Chain A
Amino acid sequence: MSAAAHSVVEPSSTSKRIAGTLIILYALISMIPLFWIVATSFKTPPDSIAYPPKILFTPSIEGYCNLFTTRTRQTPEYINALPPAESFCDETVRKRNMVIAGPSNFLPRFLNSVIIAFGSTFCAVFLGTLAAYGFSRFRVPLADDLLFFILSTRFMPPIAVAIPIYLMYREVGLSDTALGMILLYTAVNVSLAVWLLKGFIDEIPREYEEAAMIDGYTRLQAFRKVVLPQATTGIAATAIFCLIFAWNEYAFASLLTSGTAQTAPPFIPTIIGEGGQDWPAVAAGTTVFLVPILVFTVLLRKQLLRGITFGAVRK
């Protein structure tokens, strides 16, 4: 038996270096699709479908222009007769014998995504925090069964109930509404929120609230002034998980929204250019779509890490 198997000594610098190299390599490989999407968003349509694929290319913002606008084809004579182009996009588009007809649907769809994802995250975390506090602090009859019941909504993939929900929503008029989507995503996320937050709130000693209640506050005041400030880490971690789900959700969104309430995920693949998919515009849409979640995650990455390792590093 080798002694190394039980060794608790610091790993050697060589093995650390090898491990580091492997991790960096893995990270790079994982980031290739992301890199490819961002790169494609800056290519011209011909470059984007060139074979062999172009790694070095002249960057263009045509994809972004096409993403945010709708265009119509015109004759070169008509275009030449126009006054000089007002914007960079105008100029780019005219080179392809087209003029900008108006804004595209991307911005409203993106705003739908923001409203629905953040709205449902707020609802799920709000309800989850109250429920988790209740389960954590009070003797709830059948508490274990209720918690199991709450979790049981996660036993099957949500999409398994897509058809009943579709029919139900059509009946009650929630189809293609932001409210409907917020309700749906809240329902899916609230179970995760209750379970995650219960763990976080369990970790906050009861003495803090008891001290506050003796100091002259009601339970609700004690909850707001003493428990909530200490649960912010857990709430942030839970919010990120809920937000990522609601932001990225595709299946329900494509089934239940088609017009006014459509979110960005089902919209982006429908961006069609002339003569096939407009890949740079699709890639530009994806890139723009990535930004909010990236910012949110970077801002709260410490909490996210704690959320992920939660339970593994209990004292």
Chain B
Amino acid sequence: MSEIRVQNLRKEFGSFVAVQNSNFVVNDGEFFVMLGPSGCGKTTTLRMIAGLELPTGGQILLGGEEVTMLRARERDIAFVFQLFALYPHMNVRKNMGFPLLAQGMPKAEIKQRVEETARLLRIDHLLDRPVSGLAGGDRQRVALGRAIVRRPKCFLMDEPLGTLDAEFRDLMVHELRELHNRIHATTVYVTHDQHEAMAMADKIAVMNHGVIEQFGKPQEIYDHPATMFVADFIGSPPMNFLKFGGGLQKGAREVVVQGANVAVPEIREDFAPADFTLGVRPEHIRFDDGSKLRGSIYGTEYLGTTQIVAVETADGMLKARVPANVPLRTGDQVGLTFNAQRLSLFDKASGRAVMTSAREAANG
């Protein structure tokens, strides 16, 4: 059992609050990703789980056992650092055996375990090499090996792919997920890269300013962002925002945006008149000359199977993802329609998503 339970976790550095009352549970064997921009508190949260920082308040439970104030070495966790932190004065074999040596394991057993792990990661041919000469991907594998070799309760990874070049990163994303599928170890992974998060995670927590903005499966987060921050942070290009005003009534299925009636999922809560935002993903925009919502084409970005089209509207620029074979010319006037069931609505002042039938169905 190695579920991670974080309750009301809080960390202050002087007057700066790095993490504000975080709550989440990572189930046994889950690959959990904390995603957010730099300085959002994700690394601090990870370091508190590891025991490298002590929290100002709250509790951390590993496998049901309270570890909040325990030392790092007493927690039975493994940590993969962004810069790998391979001990430069030891070769690959010694690096990987180092945690086992601390446990007082006999030499022969260490040798066997290290070699077994090295084979799993396909680095057995590097075992007697110094770590300084290794390529980025191999260093990464050695760092992973040093973590796996002890069979800890859980793995904590702090942007472990941050320093690799793009080609290696894609490869390692694939390898990491595959490794996880094989050993099913509870993993907490910190990154600012949404592609890594989407590709690997079972669950994602999107953090901003020390607060978890949304916690859920990758698809939930993409399709039904809980806040405007999440909507803007996830997706490339991000979600488009269109302003509209007036109140919202429970049961309404339409809102008025720039004088055009736009169908939306059924609204499930009442709102007094205020500023609202309609959120629409680029792939949910279609061109339809019959629509009253109009714009002119500003430019296109060809991506092979699709193209990203920038459309200038009265309310600013929108980006649409349409098939690459749709002929479009800069300056063309186009009408815009949206896929009603995939739209999100936000209260502009708080940034919070308005409850709709689509959200309810997803949460249900």
Interface centre among B50, B83, B89, B146 (most CB of A within 10 A): B89
Shortest distance between the CB of A148 and any CB in chain B (Å): 23
Flag if A214 contacts B89 (CB, 8 Å). no
Given A214-B52, A216-B102, A216-B103, A205:B85 Cβ within 8 A: yes
Complex Cα spacing A239 to B50, Å: 37
Pair A210/B85 contact, Cβ less than 8 Å: yes
- Whether B83 lies near A214 (C-beta < 8 A) is no
User: Roughly how many angstroms separate A217 CA and B103 CA in the complex, as a whole number?
Assistant: 9
Is B73 an interface residue when CB atoms closer than 8 A count as contact? yes
The residues in A between 186 and 222 inclusive whose CB is less than 8 angstroms from any CB of B are 205, 207-208, 210-218, 221
> How far is B78's CA from A208's CA once the two chains are assembled, in angstroms?
13
Task: Name the one of A210, A217, A230 contacting B102, with C-beta atoms under 8 angstroms.
Answer: A217
Q: Does any Cβ of A come within 8 Å of B88's Cβ?
A: yes
Residues of B contacting A218 in the complex (Cβ-Cβ under 8 angstroms): 73
Q: Indicate which residue in A205, A210, A215, A230 contacts B98 across the interface (CB closer than 8 Å).
A: A215
Closest to B88 in A: A230
Number of B positions contacting A (CB below 8 A): 22
Q: Are A210 and B71 in contact (CB under 8 A)?
A: no
Given the complex, which residues of A lie within 8 Å of B51, measured CB to CB? 214
Q: A215-B99, A216-B103 are in contact. Are A210 and B72 (CB under 8 A)?
A: yes
For A207, list chain B residues within 8 Å (CB).
81, 83, 85
Task: Report the bound CA distance from A212 to B146 in whole Å.
Answer: 11
Q: How many angstroms from the CA of A212 to the CA of B50 in the assembled complex?
A: 12
A211 to B50: give the CA distance in the assembly, Å: 10
A96 vs B87: C-alpha distance in the bound complex, in angstroms? 65
Q: Are B146 and A215 in contact (CB under 8 A)?
A: yes
Contacts of A205 in B (CB 8 A): 83, 85
Contact with A214, one of B73, B88, B103 (Cβ below 8 angstroms): B73
For chain B, residues 26 to 73, give those with C-beta under 8 angstroms from any C-beta of chain A: 50-52, 71-73
Q: Name B81's contact: one of A210, A216, A226 (CB within 8 Å).
A: A210
Contact among B89, B99, B103 with A229 in the assembled complex (CB-CB below 8 Å): B89
Are B85 and A216 in contact, with the CB atoms below 8 A?
no
Is there an interface contact between B73 and A216, defined as CB atoms closer than 8 Å? yes
Task: Count contacts on A: residues with CB < 8 A to the other chain.
Answer: 16
Decide: B88 and A215 in contact? CB cutoff 8 A.
no
Residues of chain A lying within 8 A (CB to CB) of residue B103: 216
B87 in contact with A214 (CB, 8 Å)? no
For residue B78, which residue of chain A has the nearest CB? A214
Taking a contact as CB atoms under 8 Å apart, the answer to whether B89 and A212 are in contact is no
- Residue of B with least CB distance to A218: B73
What is the total of A-B residue contacts with beta carbons within 8 Å?
Answer: 51
Q: How far is the CA of A221 from the CA of B79 in the complex (A)?
A: 18
Cα distance A226–B81 in the bound complex, in angstroms: 16
> How far does the Cβ of A156 sit from chain B's closest Cβ, in whole Å?
38
B73 touches A217 (CB 8 A): yes
For window 204-229 of chain B, which residues contact chain A by CB distance below 8 Å? Answer: none
Contact of B79 among A214, A217, A226 (CB under 8 A): A214
Specify which chain B residues have a CB less than 8 angstroms from the CB of A229 in the assembled complex.
89
* Contact (Cβ within 8 A) A212 B81: no
Question: In the bound complex, do residue A215 and residue B102 qualify as a contact, i.e. CB atoms below 8 Å apart?
Answer: yes
| Inter-subunit contact B79/A211 (CB<8 Å) | yes
CA of A126 to CA of B201, assembled, Å: 48
CA distance in complex: A210, B87 (Å): 11
CB-based nearest A residue for B50: A214
CB distance from A15 to the nearest CB of B (A): 37
Cα distance A218–B72 in the bound complex, in angstroms: 9
Please report the C-alpha to C-alpha distance between residue A34 and residue B51 in the assembled complex, in whole angstroms: 59
A residues in contact with B89, CB < 8 Å? 229-230
Chain A residues, Cβ within 8 Å of B99: 215-216
Residue in A closest to B80 when the chains form the complex, CB atoms: A211
Distance in angstroms from A205 CB to nearest chain B CB is 7
Q: Which chain B residues lie closer than 8 Å to A213 at the CB level?
A: 52, 71-73
Taken together as a complex, chains A and B put the C-alpha atoms of A230 and B89 apart, in Å, by 7
Instruction: Return chain B residues, CB-CB under 8 Å to A211.
Output: 79, 81, 85, 87, 146
Between A212, A218, A221, A229, the greatest number of chain B beta carbons within 10 A of the residue's beta carbon is seen for: A212
B88 close to A210 (CB less than 8 A): no
A214 surroundings in chain B (CB, below 8 A):
50-52, 72-73, 75, 77-79
Known: A210-B52, A226-B87, A230-B88. A215 touches B81 (CB 8 A): no
In the complex, A210 Cα to B156 Cα: how many Å?
Answer: 13
Q: Which of A210, A212, A215, A229 has the most CB of B within 10 A?
A: A215
Q: Which residues does chain A contribute within 8 Å of B75, judged by CB atoms?
A: 214
1/0 contact string of B132-149 vs chain A (CB within 8 Å): 000000000000001000
A205 to B103, CA, bound (A): 24
Report the minimal beta-carbon distance from A94 to chain B, rounded to whole angstroms. Answer: 59
Q: In the bound complex, how far is the Cα of B102 from the Cα of A213, in angstroms?
A: 10
* Contact across chains for A210 and B73 when beta carbons are under 8 A apart: no
**How far apart are the CA atoms of A275 and B81 in the complex, in Å?**
74
Nearest to A213 among chain B residues (CB) is B72
Residues of B within 8 A of A (CB): 50-52, 71-73, 75, 77-79, 81, 83, 85, 87-89, 98-99, 102-103, 146, 150
9 residue pairs, one from A and one from B, having the closest CB atoms: A216-B102, A215-B99, A207-B85, A211-B85, A229-B89, A214-B79, A213-B72, A207-B81, A216-B73
- Given contact pairs A212-B98, A213-B72, A216-B99, a sample of 16 additional A-B residue pairs in the complex whose CB atoms are under 8 Å apart: A205-B83, A210-B81, A211-B79, A211-B81, A212-B87, A213-B73, A214-B50, A214-B51, A214-B77, A215-B98, A215-B146, A215-B150, A217-B73, A221-B102, A229-B89, A230-B88
Question: Which residues of A come within 8 Å of B, CB atoms?
Answer: 205, 207-208, 210-218, 221, 226, 229-230
